[in-house]
Structure 1
Amino acid sequence: MELPVFFRGLIWLCLISNLVLTYTLTDESQVHTDLLTGYNKDLRPGIDRTYPLNINASFYLFSIKEFDLHSGKFTVTGVFLLNWYDERLVWNPASYNQTNITSIPQNKLWLPNFININPYENIVGLGSNLISVRVLYSGLCNWYALQAFEVICDADVTKYPFDTQYCALKFFIWGYDPQEVNVIFPTTQAILTLYTENGIWEIADSITTTEVNVYGYEEIIVGFYLKRRTAYYIVSLILPISSISLLLGFAFLLPPESGERIGFCTTILLSIVVYLTIIQDQLPEASEPNVSILGYILVSYVSSGAILVVFIIISLRIHNCQSNKPVPQCITRLVLCCRRRQTALDVVEPIESKSGNRIDDEDFAVTWTEVGRCFDKMCFITSIVQFIATLTTFMSLTSP
Structure 2
Amino acid sequence: MAIQSRAGNMAPPEVYASLLVFLLMSHIPKINPQTPDDTKKLLTKLFTTDAYNKAVRPIDDQTKAISVSIDFSLTGIIEFDSQKERLTTSGYLTITWNDSYLQWDPSNYNRTSAIFIPQDNVWKPDIALQNGVSEFKGVGSSDLLVYAQNDGSVIWSPYAILQSTCKVDITYFPFDIQTCSLKFTSWSYTKYQVQLIEGNKGIVLDEYDESSIWIVVGSSVDTLQELVDATVVFSMKLKRKPLFILLNITVPIIMLSVLSVCVFILPAESSEKASFSVTVFLALAVFLTIVTSTLPQNSDKVSILSVYMVIMEGFNTLTVMLTLFQLRLNFRDVDADPVPSWLIKLQTVVERIRTRRWKKIQPAAYTQDGVLISGPGNTDIRDDRTVEITNLKVLPPKDTDAESSVTWKEISVAVQRSLPINAISQNLLKVWGKNDIVVS
Please give the residue correspondences for 1:1-400 in structure 2 after superposition, counting only pairs within 5 Å.
1=14, 19=31, 22-37=33-48, 38-187=51-200, 189-214=202-227, 216-287=228-299, 289-316=300-327, 327-328=344-345, 329-339=348-358, 341=360, 363-365=396-398, 369=410, 372=413, 375=417, 378-381=420-423
How far does residue 302 in structure 1 lie from its aligned partner after superposition? Answer: 1.1
How far does residue 208 in structure 1 lie from its aligned partner after superposition? Answer: 1.7
Q: Helix, strand or coil: the match of 1:130?
A: coil
Q: Helix, strand or coil: the match of 2:205?
A: coil
Aligned partner of 2:382 in structure 1 is none
| C-alpha contact 1:72 1:152 (8 A) present in aligned 2 | yes
| C-alpha contact 1:134 1:143 (8 A) present in aligned 2 | yes
Amino acid at match of 1:196: D
Q: Helix, strand or coil: the match of 1:341?
A: helix
Deviates more, 1:231-240 or 1:192-201: 192-201
| C-alpha contact 1:252 1:377 (8 A) present in aligned 2 | no
Q: What is the CA–CA distance in structure 2 between the aligned matches of 1:51 and 1:131, rounded to whole Å?
A: 28
Q: What is the CA–CA distance in structure 1 between the aligned matches of 2:258 and 2:16, rounded to whole Å?
A: 88
How far does residue 106 in structure 1 lie from its aligned partner after superposition? Answer: 0.5
Largest Rg, 1 or 2: 2
Deviation string, structure 1 residues 247-290 (Cα, Å, up to 9, x no partner):
11111112332222111111111111111111222223225x22
Q: What is the CA–CA distance in structure 1 between the aligned matches of 2:286 and 2:398, rounded to whole Å?
A: 46
CA change 1:3–1:197 in 2 (3 A) is farther
CA change 1:96–1:246 in 2 (3 A) is same
Using the size of structure 1 for normalisation, the TM-score is: 0.79
| C-alpha contact 1:249 1:384 (8 A) present in aligned 2 | no
| C-alpha contact 2:264 2:425 (8 A) present in aligned 1 | no
Q: Which has the higher helix share?
A: 1
How far does residue 381 in structure 1 lie from its aligned partner after superposition? Answer: 3.5
| C-alpha contact 1:318 1:369 (8 A) present in aligned 2 | no
Amino acid at match of 2:145: S
Aligned positions, number: 361
Q: What is the CA–CA distance in structure 2 between the aligned matches of 1:2 and 1:84, rounded to whole Å?
A: 56
| C-alpha contact 1:61 1:195 (8 A) present in aligned 2 | yes
Deviation string, structure 1 residues 289-347 (Cα, Å, up to 9, x no partner):
22333222111111101111223234445656769968424223222234252688999
How far does residue 49 in structure 1 lie from its aligned partner after superposition? Answer: 3.9
Q: Which runs of 5+ in 1 are unaligned?
A: 348-361, 386-400
Q: What is the CA–CA distance in structure 2 between the aligned matches of 1:92 and 1:384, rounded to whole Å?
A: 93
Q: What is the CA–CA distance in structure 2 between the aligned matches of 1:3 and 1:306, rounded to whole Å?
A: 108
Q: What is the CA–CA distance in structure 2 between the aligned matches of 1:32 and 1:340, rounded to whole Å?
A: 105
Deviation string, structure 1 residues 209-249 (Cα, Å, up to 9, x no partner):
210355x2222212222221111100111001111111111
Q: Helix, strand or coil: the match of 1:89?
A: strand
Q: Helix, strand or coil: the match of 2:199?
A: coil
| C-alpha contact 1:161 1:230 (8 A) present in aligned 2 | yes
Question: How large is the Cα RMSD of the aligned pairs?
Answer: 3.4
Deviates more, 1:152-161 or 1:78-87: 152-161
Q: What is the CA–CA distance in structure 2 between the aligned matches of 1:3 and 1:190, rounded to whole Å?
A: 60
Q: Helix, strand or coil: the match of 1:128?
A: coil
CA change 1:365–1:107 in 2 (3 A) is same
Q: What is the CA–CA distance in structure 1 between the aligned matches of 2:425 and 2:41, rounded to whole Å?
A: 86
Using the size of structure 2 for normalisation, the TM-score is: 0.73
| C-alpha contact 1:272 1:302 (8 A) present in aligned 2 | yes
Q: Helix, strand or coil: the match of 2:168?
A: coil
| C-alpha contact 2:194 2:230 (8 A) present in aligned 1 | no
